[in-house]
Amino acid sequence: MWSKVTQCKSVWNAVAAVVLVVLAGACSPAAPGENSESLSGVDETVNSNQEGVSGPLAIGSQLKTTANLNFRTGPSSGYKVLRVLAKGTVVETVEKTSPSNSYYKIKHNGTVGWSHGGYMSVVSTPSGGTAGVSGSLAVGTQLETVANLNFRSGPSTSYQILDVMVSGTVVKTVQADPQNQYYKIEHKGQTGWSHGGYMRVTGDPGTTPNDPPPPSSNKVDAAIAAAKSGVGFSYWWGHGRWVAGGATSSNKGSCSGSCPSCSHSGSYGADCSGYVAKIWQVPSDNDDLSYDWHPYSTSTFDGSSSLWTTVSRGSLKKADAMVYRTSSSGHIFLYESGDGWGSMWAYECKGCSAGCVRNLRTASSSYKGIRRAGY
């Protein structure tokens, strides 16, 4: 009889142990490992109004997650989730300056993967130090965007987006105190608001390192001044953007390969038509050197327009341009001086290896002269 009781007691003890294990498991589930198929991640639907990181960022930039964020093996929600990064996690961009499908290639705890820029903010960049401004700033303080940044009609995400300022755009404060971390600023002659978390201070009131060339009563001289400021920047296919203060080792960018299948690193540079369009300020609102815009190709410049006219190569004047276009290629450069049929000084963005230069050159018979209206 005692043997039966002992057996029954053993059975009940075993059952109780199983129940405790089940209950314990229900209260404290084991965290799935990095390779667990049960790791489904978090929702990656980004609200169109929320602020986040977009556009090119220098390799080595530090980003901080603004919510729990999926860290994936590739640049879309179709790729496997390696882990979920907790809100406030700091990561570093690697290998690529531009995002893919809004995903940035980043490194976290030694592992390389991809996360969506909509849920990250910039902490610092290699060339510019710590990003993000807060507190009162003197009116007229210069701020530079460290990522593409919404320029809004008011100080919150509920206000209309007036423009998206590309990374590296320089603006000025028009009010000392921020509201909701948004600063009231002036951009391209318009007043609006942008989030301080995506800007850094670049100059005190009165300094103007990135402003366009000073107004000139002589449009031709102003065009040459703009051309000079672009010398030294890299060739950037399909773009047109640089700073009036000139190229430095940290901002000039670099180009490699054979265009149009070339690759570019950095936030500034231009190709031949983007360079001339910015110098000529065509169309008329293409007047901000630091704003990336490429409105025309060599095919456009080779055609007719109310903004320019064809001129004889023998009667070229300073700040005219020379252009040619065939079915498969084309080029344009700004004329400064010399013989239109012989050697002449010119400003041009020549290609990956040369970048944007001032040089002495000749031009084949395929080229024709054009002159900006009003010059």
Q: Provide the residue ranges of all domains of the chain, joining segments of one domain with +.
A: 62-125, 132-203, 219-372
Q: List all residues 6 or more positions away from 151 whose beta carbon is below 8 Å from its beta carbon.
A: 161, 162, 163, 164, 165, 185, 187, 190, 192, 193, 194
330 pLDDT tier (thresholds 50, 70, 90): very high
Query: pLDDT over 70 for what percent of the chain?
Result: 80
Write the pLDDT tens digit of every residue in 47-95. Answer: 444 567 877 777 778 888 988 999 999 999 899 999 999 999 999 888 7
Quote the tokens at residue 137.
């700033």
199 pLDDT tier (thresholds 50, 70, 90): confident
| Cross-strand bridge partners of residue 65 | 120
Report CA torsion sign: 327, 331, 335, 340. Answer: negative
Residue 264 φ then ψ, to 5°: -125, 140
The answer, yes or no, to whether residue 20 has pLDDT greater than 60, is no
Position 371 scores a pLDDT of 96
Q: Which helix (H) or strand (E) holds 325?
A: strand 321-325
311 or 161: whose pLDDT is higher? 311
Q: List all residues 6 or more positions away from 323 whose beta carbon is below 8 Å from its beta carbon.
A: 298, 301, 302, 330, 331, 332, 367, 368, 370
**Average pLDDT of the residues in 134-142:** 84
Q: Return the residue matching tokens 């965007």.
A: 145
**Least confident range of 6-15, 24-33, 49-58, 294-303:** 24-33
In angstroms, rounded to a whole number, what is the distance separating the alpha carbons of residues 182 and 145? 13
**Average pLDDT of the residues in 116-131:** 72
Position 206 scores a pLDDT of 53
Fold of the domain spanning 132-203? SH3 type barrels. (2.30.30)
Position 49 scores a pLDDT of 45
Position 334 scores a pLDDT of 97
Query: pLDDT over 90 for what percent of the chain?
Result: 49
Position 153 scores a pLDDT of 93
In angstroms, rounded to a whole number, what is the distance separating the alpha carbons of residues 146 and 334? 31
Nearest C-alpha neighbor of 276 from the set 219, 217, 227: 227
148 or 364: whose pLDDT is higher? 364
Q: List all residues 6 or more positions away from 243 whose beta carbon is below 8 Å from its beta carbon.
A: 168, 170, 209, 210, 229, 251, 268, 289, 290
Position 147 scores a pLDDT of 76
Is the whole model's pTM more than 0.75, yes or no?
no
In angstroms, rounded to a whole number, what is the distance separating the alpha carbons of residues 201 and 193? 16
**Least confident range of 30-39, 63-72, 340-349, 353-362:** 30-39
Q: What radius of gyration, in Å, describes the C-alpha atoms of the chain?
A: 28
Position 41 scores a pLDDT of 57
Position 45 scores a pLDDT of 52
Position 214 scores a pLDDT of 46
Nearest C-alpha neighbor of 185 from the set 132, 140, 146: 140
Q: Fold match between 62-125 and 219-372?
A: no
Residue 343 near residue 288, CB atoms below 8 Å: no
| Residues found in the chain | 375
In angstroms, rounded to a whole number, what is the distance separating the alpha carbons of residues 347 and 47? 44
The answer, yes or no, to whether residue 190 has pLDDT greater than 80, is yes
Phi/psi-derived region of residue 110, left when phi > 0, alpha when psi is between -120 and 50, beta in every other case: left
Quote the tokens at residue 194.
């942008």
Quote the tokens at residue 124.
């610092």
In angstroms, rounded to a whole number, what is the distance separating the alpha carbons of residues 191 and 210? 18
Question: Helix, strand, coil proportions of the chain in percent (round to 5)?
Answer: 15, 35, 50
Q: List all residues 6 or more positions away from 186 whose beta carbon is below 8 Å from its beta carbon.
A: 171, 172, 173, 174
Position 43 scores a pLDDT of 56
Q: List all residues 6 or more positions away from 139 whose beta carbon is below 8 Å from its beta carbon.
A: 173, 174, 175, 176, 205
260 or 279: whose pLDDT is higher? 279
Which of helix, strand or coil describes residue 152?
strand
**Least confident range of 215-229, 277-291, 298-312:** 215-229
**Least confident range of 134-138, 205-209, 341-345:** 205-209
261 pLDDT tier (thresholds 50, 70, 90): confident
**Average pLDDT of the residues in 348-370:** 94
Position 275 scores a pLDDT of 97
Residue 148 near residue 123, CB atoms below 8 Å: no
The answer, yes or no, to whether residue 202 has pLDDT greater than 90, is no
In angstroms, rounded to a whole number, what is the distance separating the alpha carbons of residues 65 and 204? 30
**Average pLDDT of the residues in 43-47:** 51
> Which is the CATH superfamily of the domain at 62-125?
SH3 Domains (2.30.30.40)
For the chain, the average pLDDT equals 81
What's the CATH architecture for 219-372? Alpha-Beta Complex (3.90)
**Average pLDDT of the residues in 198-220:** 61
- Across the beta sheet with 62-65, the strand order is 81-85, 69-72, 111-116, 103-108, 90-93, 62-65, 120-125, 129-130
